[in-house]
Structure 1
């Protein structure tokens, strides 16, 4: 059975773009949290019991960032993760909000 959004074409491309935006947003959020806590990537690596290189991979903004990786970061920082689906603004503009301040973060797909 084929999954339409995983294939080529406009739906697959839109999903890829949205996934890449979400990954970038997540990594910006983590970087903001580290900055707010005056922590380095090496500090996070120690808390996660992984190499600093692995933390760099996680924070590289790769669209293949996994929920498991994000959960490991949250666990190391003693945080929960909240995922919300929201309606796009009427003008269709994308907006993002976050940077480690605990606010909800939103990304609107095209």
Structure 2
């Protein structure tokens, strides 16, 4: 496989629903595991909280299970997180930004008083309103 052919194949994965579904499952598992680590939780702790088995948690964390929105929500809450689902136009560029905790006013003050932040927000959020 030459480089150009490989590049085209790799680029086409962004349009492959099966590939994207697998990627999202792995991304979800990584997020859950990060929050578990942050809170010092192990698989048994999480299994107990959602009334499941450690084997199920292993399956989830390896990306080897189809999850419902309900189970994703339950897992997210159990590790102290929130599930966010968003549908955006495929042609739009977007990114999630996790802001610090609500009481971190210094970050918010710096963000909202920064002229470049305000310019970016105005340019990018006007079309949403």
Name the CA shift for 1:45/1:75 in 2 (closer, same or farther; >3 Å): same
Distance 1:48 1:64 in 2: 17
* Structure with max Cα Rg: 2
Number of residues of Structure 1 aligned to a counterpart in Structure 2: 84
1:57 to 56, 59, 73: 59
Residues 37-93 of structure 1 show CA distances to partners (whole Å, capped at 9, x for unaligned) of 11111110111111111111222213623322212212323542112234237xxxx
Of 83, 91, 103 in structure 2, the residue corresponding to residue 81 of structure 1 is 83
More displaced 10-residue stretch of structure 1: 80-89 or 13-22: 80-89
Distance of aligned partners of 1:62 and 1:82 in 2 relative to their CA distance in 1, 3 Å threshold: same
Greater helix share, 1 or 2? 2
Equivalent residues in 2 for 1:7-86 (5 A)? Answer: 14-62=16-64, 64-86=66-88
The TM-score normalised by the length of structure 2 is 0.53
RMSD: 3.0
Q: Which has the higher contact order (CA 8 A, sep 6+)?
A: 1
Q: Would you say the 8 A contact 1:24–1:63 is kept in 2?
A: no
Unmatched segments (≥5 aa) in structure 1: 1-9, 90-94, 105-110
| TM-score, normalised with respect to structure 1 | 0.61
Structure 2, unmatched stretches of 5+, are 1-11, 100-129
